[in-house]
Structures are given as C-alpha cells and as structure tokens.
Structure 1
Amino acid sequence: MTLAVSNAALDGAITMPAEPVAVDGLFGWYGPGVSRRGVVLCGTLGYEQISAYRGWRRLAADLTAAGHPTLRFDYPGEGDSADPEGAGVETHIAAIRRAVRFLREVAGAEEIVLVGLRLGATFAALAAEQEGIDRLVMLAPFASGRAYLREMTMRTKTIDQLPDGRPFPQDPAAPVFGGFRPPAALLASLGRLDLTKVPPAPVPRILLLGPDPAGLAGRLRDGGSAVTTGAFPGLAPFLSNALISVTPDEVFAQVLAFVAEDEACPVADRAPGLPPAPMPIATPQWSEEVIRFGGNVGIVCTPHAPAPDTPALLFVNSGVNPRSGYGRQTSDLARALAGRGVRSLRMDLRGVGDGHDRADGAPPLYVLDAVDEITAALDRLDTGSGVVLTGTCSGAYLGFHVLCRDARVRAGILVNLYCFDWDPKADLATALKPKFRSAASYGSLMRQPDAWKRVLRGEVRVGAILSRLAGMALGRLRGAALKLLRPFPSATSVAGRVAAIRKRGAKLVLVFSEGESGIGEVVTHLGRGPDLQARRLGHPVVLLEDTDHNLSTEGAQDRLREILTGVLTEASAGTPAYRRTRAAD
C-alpha cells in the first residue's frame, strides 16, 4: 500500500490552537478541526513519554493543522491527570475509550484513528475492540506487557544511577523505571497482557511502524485487518533522553499521510467542534486550572481551604522535564501541599512541555533570559504573601538568580544545583555528561570492594577521574588565592549575593544528593567546612543519602516535601512583617 498525503478535502480548513480539557479526570489538549475523522494520540508511559513530549505535541499540532480534531492526554495517575481508582491495564484502556467518546461528542467525529506509541500502541489495539475504531497506528508496539517490563528493566540500568555511579537501589516488587514507579496493580496486569495469546478485534486499516514483535503484523492480518508495515528510523533518539530527543519527522509524515488517506468526510460546511468550558481536575481538597502567559503554560493548584498568610509555591522546570516533573513528582508534590493549604504553580518555560518554542530553538538550560519568564510567573502567583520557589539542577540555577533579583521570593529550595553562575563559553553537553560528582564520592567509592573490581575490569575511567580531581583542586586553589587578595566577599560574588538574600529576610536552602558535583561549588564559594557554609547560609546544607540526581528513590520525595513544608511554615509566620516591608518599598 502506498501512502500519500492528500489534503484536498481540507482546503480552507480553519486551524485553531489546542485548548486544555479535562475528560472525566483525564487532563489533555484538544485541537479542533473541520474533518469528521478525529485522532486520539495514545502516548506511552513514564520516562519514554517525558522524552517524547515535545515531539508528540508537535504531531498533535500537525494533525490539527491538517484539519483533524485531535486529542492527546495523560493516562490516569500520570502527568496532570487525576489519580485513578484502579491502576491496571484496564484503567488505561478505559482512558482511551473515554478520549474516543470525547471526540465523537465534542468534535462530531464519525471516524476515529488511534495513534499509539510503544505501550500506548498496545493499549490502543485493545481499546479498539469496543469502540469501533476505523484506523490504528502502532508505533514500535510491544506484543506483551512482559516484553515492556523486560526492556524497561534493562534500560533503567543506564538511566537510574546514584551520583557516584553505583546502580540505583531497586526493589524487585516495586521497580522504578526512569523515576516512574508503576503501581503494583499495573505491574501485575502487564504481566498478563499478551496480544499473541488474545489477538485484539480487527481494525479495518492498521499502520505498524518499527520492529514487528512476535509476528504481530501477521496475527493482525489473520484477524482480518489490512496491515501496512514499515521501519521506525530514529526511535532511540526520540525516546532515550528528553534533553536530546529528536522528533522522527519521517515517521510522523507517514502517520499524517495514513490518517489523511482516502479522506471522504464532508468538511465544506463544517465549523471546528469547539471544546466545552475547561473543567478543572479537582478533589475535595483542591482544584486546578491552566494559565497561559507570554509563551508559557502553567497549572495553578488552589486549595479549597488555604492556609492563612502562607506564601505561594512556584515550581521551576528541572531541565526539559514538563511541568508535571520527573516521575510526575511535581504534580504529586503540588497536590500534597494543596492538601495543607498551599497554593502553587507548576510552569513550563519556553522550549519545555507545552511552552512555546524559544527563538533560538534551544532548551532553556542555564540561560538567564528565562529569568524574565519566571518573573512573569511571580506576577501571576503572588497575592501579597510572597512566593517560595523550588527547582532541581537547571531549575535550581534559575531559581538562585530569581531569588537574588526579586524581593517577592521569600525562600528558594534549590535541589542539586550544578553551579551558581554559568560560563557561557562552556559546552553544555560536556558539562552535563554523566560522571562521578564530587571528591567525597570518589573517596567513598574507593572504600567499596566492588569499585576496585570495576577498576580492574576497565569499567571505571581512572584517567577521567584524576583529571576531574585535578580540575577541582585547581579551582579551589584559585578560590583560595582570590580570598587572600580580597578577604571580604564582594557584593557580586556568590557569598555576597547570599549575604544580600539573608539581609532582606529571605532564605536560601541548598539540598544535595550525596556525591553531587554541585557540592564542590558550595565549597568553592561558601567555604570548605560545613560550619562555615552554615554560618553564611544561616543553616546547614542538606545532604540526602542513597538517592539519585532526581530524588527518585523511596522516601526522597517525602523528605523534600518535609523541607518544603518547613520553609513554607516558617515563611508564613513572618508574613505580616514581610507585608510591612513590601508596603514600605
């Protein structure tokens, strides 16, 4: 079968931007279209979906631009959707069926195309059985849930590591895949999912791109479907890492052609089916709404019983992870704190999640122009009690600079800060390449018998370690020399800026996974000993043991929530004084 793009039936179509929608607890984005052939995008799960986020969003926009009403959504318990009552495969299949009904009711779609990615393709094939699906696109599907779990278990060995390079501590009964912790019910039901034993009901037209697992294409043909197969060039670059994800243009062009092929639905006298007024995701404790400002998108989580005089909380993107966070940590934190009366905003910077593209096309990592976007978020969030902000890695870097500049920020909880100031001549890819993080971590590692075995097997790059240690030593010598020449920190130095933050009554809390390289930055700029660091900060640096860069291990997020709660409580006690100071300004 030859696929060719044919948009003749859609000439003159009115393209409208996607709008946020909530469908029975599912959060999604709906792009109206004039065609009566609607498309539901069924993404994959966890780490892979975070990596695919921007490309998946672009595919949805291209489908809408071609005139097809399109809905992409987060599964229950993922992204910005509500938590599910159950968490098995059936819950995810039911979510796809709800999305299909939305397109039929709101967009008036008479034909439905499901486009599934990886495990989402497997779910889509099963959802098609009860919804009368006309076309199905399966992008690199899994034939069974066990195959998915095996692949994720293998990949997590390269994704999930502690800062000193040790393997991520895993509980076989509750594994973590790139920060994603599948519920026990989902793990159990995935173990039973097998399309080779129970083939799904036939769909008239199927496009399967990528490896053909267990001869799935033949089984689908035997069931009565017309199946077109092809390669999926660029699958690994698309899904392996959000920071370097490359949209598979060739594959998506085939998807667009397949969706549009033989378009026979009348569109001439049809207006786009507009979404209903946004229905927020809500519980008895809180409700959420989407806000857009400039080129940014955010979700405000508002408690129904706000805690008096409590500052609002702003979450800044970590790297290029969407606003829901790595492993959905940010959504979970925002909602847990809303239960304690804290209002929050989790935002997407330009170039991240659903934010607009940046003019330079690059992600907003260690670029100070993104500070203006965070300032705009403060404008939307501060109602007089001030704001506490938090961010990880590059989000911590931006948070530090906002804390230095904006007096509305009463505290910053900065997690695994890589550096206080970025050298624009530095190569970002080299700087962020995985490596052992600090001198202390090397000493700890060499006390482990297994580490010496890894050295002897050639698995540890000793030369790179020695080079790294030499660089650290040189940096500290340079810092010591500067202190001799200028014993008191200047106002523009890190120590001087930290002192100015404290002078205005604000607070800087530094939180590190043990062994992170950013600890060396603290030593260089705030003093070698923990006592000197504590005097300059006003409290000790917080070190978390046996957790990774993203705080994905069991209990790490609980500890972070305790830190956030403590800082918010302390800030709320000082709110009247803060208001008097702001009024005087």
Structure 2
Amino acid sequence: MTFASSAFIASQDVRRAAYDGTGRQAITRNQGSEPITIDAEQLSRLRRYEAPESEIYEEFLERRVGRGGAFALLAGPLGAPRDEGWIVCPSIGPEHGNLRRLEAIVARTLAKAGYPVLRLRPDVDPVDGLRVEIDLAARLHEVEDAVRTMTDDVGARSVGVLGSFFGATAAALACEQLALREMVLIEPVARGKAYLKEIMRRHAVAELVGTVDEHGPDGAAAQQQETAAPREQLAAEGHAALQGMGLSRAEAERIAAVDLVGDLRSFDGRSLLVGISPSGALSPSLARLRDHLASLGGQVATTVVEDPLFAPFGEYYFRNAGPVRVDTRLGLDERVASTIAAWAIGRTADAPVAAT
C-alpha cells in the first residue's frame, strides 16, 4: 500500500511502518523508495513475553481494533485459561495516560488468576499535525471489536468489561450496548457533564502551572488567557484543545448527555463498583448507581478502597521529595487490582479496603 505522510514527514528521509488494517506492516522510506524486507518471525517473537514467576504472558495481537486501529494487548495465564475474558476500556481524555499503570496491574492480576485480559492502546500518533480527538463513539467501537477478538481469536465463552474514571463510564455503556453480563467500574463518572467540568478544570490548572510566568513577557499571560478557556473556544470556534487533545462541540454535547442511571436500562448482570476515598465512605453518585443497578435486577457489589489520594484519581501521581520523585499510587493500584481479582473469582463481600 502507499503510505500517505504529512508534509513535514514527507520532507524527512525517515522510515515509517505502514498499517494496512490486517496487522501486517511494511517499512518504507518516505521519499519514494521501495519497501524493505523485514523478518516477520522475529517481529512475531518480539510481540510476546512470558513471566514464569507470575505464570502469565503478555503479547500484542496482530489484529487491531476500532476504526482508528487501536492496539490490542493480551495478558493471560501460562496454563489453561478460564472461559471468561475481560476487556479493559481506557478513558477517553487526557487522564488516560495516568491510568495506564492501574490498567496494566489489573490485567496482570486477573491473568494470574486465570483470566485472559485484553487492554486497548489507542494509536495516538497524530496525523498531519492534528491533535488526538476525544471521541466516545470511537472508544465504544474499539470495545465492540475487542469483544469480538476475545471470543473469536482468544476463545473466551463470555466477556466482561472494566474501566476507570470515564473509561468506566464507557465500559458501562458498552456493556449495555453489547448485552454483556459482567462489568467492573472503578470510580466511574456517572454524568457526562461532570466529566467535562472536571477535565476542563484540570486543563485550567495545567495551563496555570505550565504557562503563566510572572517573570516572563506580557505575552505569557495573554497565551494563558487564550488557551485556558475551552468552553469559550467551543462556543466561538466549535472546537477546543484540552492538554494536547481536541474536543469538538458536537462531541462535548454527546458526552454531556451521558447519564449512567438513565442510560443503563436493561443490564441485570453481575457488577462491581469500586470507589476510592480518603474516608472510606461510598460517594453519593456511586450509591445512586448501585441502587439503580440493583433495581434492574443485577447482582451488585460495592467496595471502597481507602486511600489518602495525594492527587485526585486520574491525575499525575508522583510528588517531589528532594532529588527524587515518589510514586504515591502504586499501593492503591495494587489494592484495587487485588479487590477486582477476588471479586471475579467469587470471594468478595461488600467491605472497605483500608489504606496501608
């Protein structure tokens, strides 16, 4: 196939991998030279690694999912897998990078318990210099393709979905849309309006910290004023930038219309709602969602993981301690993963999980 590159990339004599939708790639030079030969067997071996001490493996599947060709990363046991597989649905906004480690730990913990788990890694390489777009419909399409991959290629007889923050919201919507029977929601955002308000707040904080320079020229303040008002950008231009990602007015309206209590109408399967709180108390929004799922006839378990939360869930979680940075969330991620694995194999009762 012919690889269409941006004007900038086309001016550079660099190698790029062209994707044809089948998982196969040919490495080409941009300035019109012929494709070069690559060792497919060697690449295939590099797609997978095994961890005998944990009795799990991880591998990138050749098949990519969704209309954007997201990568599919499969984790599973080295021994015989369980019949049920899990899809990890990433969040759709700038926070998704800060949640990847949690997703990895959850996937590996479930794999160690015998479950095949498929993580999605959207291909976020911008095309022609454009920002990556916040797109809920694209994420739902990726989950749909991933479910098909889990049943057709991996061999799972049933599939559950899990996610955190707005990834949990998308997972719940996918569960309803695809009539799946199990879901795990970690600190889900029940209302789309609340999610938009939160990511705009985080954008404003990031702009304030990263752009304003009291010792700099007046232009710094002007730039901050120009870029820190996504609501005004949406109203005036129909598009806004949020920490390197683009958000259209139409997509913002679609997200704002999300309300899990209203949108989940038929799910009567098994669900786990995981809250994270410094006090160990269940939030009102999570309690409301729990009661709604129970009213639909589902089996709902709720667990609150107690943690001091140095930074709000989904935000950057390292803090400076002299010359080093301290990871403030590793213990939390591990406790969340252990809680989910225990529930998945049927050992969990409703109870808070205290901080360590």
CA drift at 1:15: 2.4
- Residue equivalent to 1:241: 316
Alignment of 1:384-423 (within 5 A): none
- The two structures have a TM-score, normalised by structure 2, of 0.62
1:128–1:201 contact (8 Å) kept in structure 2: no
Question: Does residue 1:143 correspond to 2:181, yes or no?
Answer: no
| Gap change, CA 1:124 and 1:38, over 3 Å in 2 | same
1:26–1:81 contact (8 Å) kept in structure 2: no
- Residue equivalent to 2:263: 198
1:117–1:140 contact (8 Å) kept in structure 2: yes
| Gap change, CA 1:58 and 1:251, over 3 Å in 2 | closer
1:144–1:193 contact (8 Å) kept in structure 2: yes
| Gap change, CA 1:160 and 1:81, over 3 Å in 2 | closer
Q: Which amino acid is 1:26 matched to?
A: A
- Residue equivalent to 2:247: 182
Question: Does residue 1:169 correspond to 2:228, yes or no?
Answer: yes
Question: Does residue 1:31 correspond to 2:75, yes or no?
Answer: yes
- Residue equivalent to 2:95: 48
Cα deviation code 1:57-84 (max 9, x no counterpart)? 2222222222211111034xx636999x
Pick from 57, 63, 71 the counterpart of residue 16 of structure 1: 57
Cα deviation code 1:193-223 (max 9, x no counterpart)? 1223333421411111113527111111111
CA drift at 1:237: 5.7
Larger Rg: 1
Question: What is the distance in 2 between the residues matched to 1:16 and 1:81?
Answer: 30
- Residue equivalent to 2:11: none
Cα deviation code 1:411-449 (max 9, x no counterpart)? xxxxxxxxxxxxxxxxxxxxxxxxxxxxxxxxxxxxxxx
| Gap change, CA 1:74 and 1:17, over 3 Å in 2 | closer
2:176–2:266 contact (8 Å) kept in structure 1: yes
CA drift at 1:47: 2.6
Q: Which amino acid is 1:139 matched to?
A: I
CA drift at 1:122: 1.1
SS at match of 1:160: helix
| Gap change, CA 1:14 and 1:54, over 3 Å in 2 | closer
Q: Which amino acid is 1:170 matched to?
A: A
Q: Which amino acid is 1:258 matched to?
A: W
1:140–1:232 contact (8 Å) kept in structure 2: no
2:193–2:256 contact (8 Å) kept in structure 1: yes
- Residue equivalent to 1:259: 344
Greater strand proportion:
2
Cα deviation code 1:121-175 (max 9, x no counterpart)? 1111111124332211011111121110011122222222314165443342034
- Residue equivalent to 2:285: 213
- Residue equivalent to 2:161: 114
Question: Does residue 1:123 correspond to 2:170, yes or no?
Answer: yes
Cα deviation code 1:475-533 (max 9, x no counterpart)? xxxxxxxxxxxxxxxxxxxxxxxxxxxxxxxxxxxxxxxxxxxxxxxxxxxxxxxxxxx
| Gap change, CA 1:152 and 1:232, over 3 Å in 2 | farther
CA drift at 1:245: 5.5
Segments of 5+ residues of structure 2 without an aligned counterpart are 1-52, 215-220, 276-282, 319-326, 348-356
| Gap change, CA 1:198 and 1:16, over 3 Å in 2 | closer
2:90–2:164 contact (8 Å) kept in structure 1: yes
SS at match of 2:259: coil
- Residue equivalent to 1:226: 299
Q: Which amino acid is 1:79 matched to?
A: V
Question: What is the distance in 1 between the residues matched to 2:55 and 2:230?
Answer: 52
Question: What is the distance in 2 between the residues matched to 1:150 and 1:238?
Answer: 15
Question: What is the distance in 1 between the residues matched to 2:343 and 2:119?
Answer: 18
Question: What is the distance in 1 between the residues matched to 2:60 and 2:268?
Answer: 29
Q: Percent identity?
A: 24
| Gap change, CA 1:87 and 1:149, over 3 Å in 2 | closer
